[in-house]
Structure 1
Amino acid sequence: MNRRGPGLLGVAARTAVVAGTASAVGGRVQQRQQAKNDERDAGQPAEPSPDDLIGQLERLGALKKQGILTDAEFVAQKNRLLAE
């Protein structure tokens, strides 16, 4: 017998693995989206991580250095970020 590919059992197994992986990934994405929606509905904004806050402050500093933000705008935006 001269086979060219993985046979019926191999194809079925591969299909099951692909479908299972897609289902697991889709479930995780749905859970994350639901958590974000629940958070938004509760009216409680997510607390930014320290890395996010530092990154935002660095971007503000860069905008001020480039002359895009005035000193007053920079201070106002910085205070807004630190108050969150």
Structure 2
Amino acid sequence: MPGLLRGVARTAVIAGTASAASGRVQRRQAARFAAQDAQASPPAAEPRVYAPAAAPPPVSPPAPVAEAGGSGDAIIDRLTELANLKAQGILTDEEFAAQKARILAS
């Protein structure tokens, strides 16, 4: 039995030594890689703080297009577009009436 205990003890010592040496190597490599990373990468910038977006500017009604003679289809298309803007709430009744009068007068 003494030979068996001696073999087990010897194996334990060798394994412990190998484990300790491996741990030192890992710590040394980790320190080296950390130093290389610190040199390679620039320092972290302050996080940017973004202000909330401002409300979009109000949409102006479409400008009347000056047409020579004004075809019926073009007038209908412009009146339809104007009615859609009013339905969406972009134009008030007064603005709608004024633009409609301009389109029909052309």
TM-score by length of structure 2 reads 0.37
TM-score by length of structure 1 reads 0.46
Structure with larger Rg: 2
- Which has the bigger relative contact order, CA under 8 A and spacing at least 6? 2
